[in-house]
Amino acid sequence: MQLSATTELEAVNQLLKAVGESPVNSLDNLGFTDASIARDTLRTKAREIQSKGWYFNRDYDFYFTPASDGQVVLPANVISIRPSTSETRRVTPRAGKLYNNDDATYVFAADSGPIVEVVWMFDFESLPEAARRYITVTAATQYQAQFQGSEQSYGFTKDDEKFALMALLDEERSYEPRGNMFNDGTDVSEIFTR
């Protein structure tokens, strides 16, 4: 089953198609319909999958510039946040802001904002195609199981889910630093540097 999930509307229509429902022309004013349930299922899966943090939505050393009052208010699309390995302070999110646990304050010096690892939540259309495809297939699996409960159809969609995950993981690996046993292994590098 080939999925083309370039927009959220197309993805919702793929979910509807998986259970034999007619497609919709718009995601506006859906009310409480099968299409609205499909849209909500897709959005829930998108958040769940993005919360794991991937190459496309994670920054390892993100610097937040404090506002004029010294506080750092977190943007609404932050899913998770933790101190970066280069951050010496214990920094945690609290009440929608960053908190300096070491000094027990929300205030950071203007030239010393926190450096954090942050996972961002992006709109469906902003995601890479492999991520959209995986989100769509996993949402379709869940939606179909809830809607029909058909074991035969569910198994077919689960196979698609495995292939979509493999494609996303392959893409994830292509963005990892290129390491190998000759460059990164301490034993081998010691031999080469003799």
**How confident is the model over 8-66, as pLDDT tens digits?**
999 988 888 888 888 888 888 777 788 888 899 999 999 999 999 999 999 999 999 99
Q: Which of 19-23, 139-143, 174-178 has the highest mean pLDDT?
A: 139-143
The pLDDT, as a whole number, for residue 35 is 83
CA 5 and chain centroid, separation: 16
- The mean pLDDT value of the chain amounts to 85
Q: What pLDDT score does 18 carry?
A: 83
Rounded Cα distance, 106 and 73, in Å: 9
Which pLDDT band holds residue 149 (cuts at 50, 70, 90)?
Answer: low
Asked if 164 and 147 count as a contact pair (C-beta separation under 8 A), the reply is no
Instruction: Report how far apart, in Å, the C-alpha atoms of 136 and of each of 25, 41, 62 are.
Output: 18, 9, 29
pLDDT of residue 150: 56
Question: What's CA 71's distance to the chain center, in Å?
Answer: 26
DSSP state of 75: P
Distance CA(24)–CA(30), nearest Å, equals 9
Nearest to 78 by CA among 100, 94, 101: 94
- Tell me, what DSSP letter sits at residue 140? H
State the Cα–Cα distance between residues 121 and 74, nearest whole angstrom: 12
pLDDT at residue 1 tops 60: no
Query: What is the average pLDDT across 151-163?
Result: 71
Q: Which residue has the higher pLDDT, 112 or 19?
A: 112
With a cut of 70, say whether residue 181 has pLDDT above it.
no
For the stretch 72-101, pLDDT in tens is 999 999 999 998 999 999 999 999 999 999
| Torsion angle, alpha carbons of 139, 17, 131, 38, to 10 | -40
pLDDT given at position 192: 46
Band the pLDDT of 189: cuts 50, 70, 90: very low
In terms of Cβ atoms closer than 10 Å to its own Cβ (0-12, 13-18, 19+), residue 181 is: exposed
Chain CA centroid to CA 130, Å: 12
Angstrom CA distances, 58 to 41, 63, 146, stand at 23, 13, 31
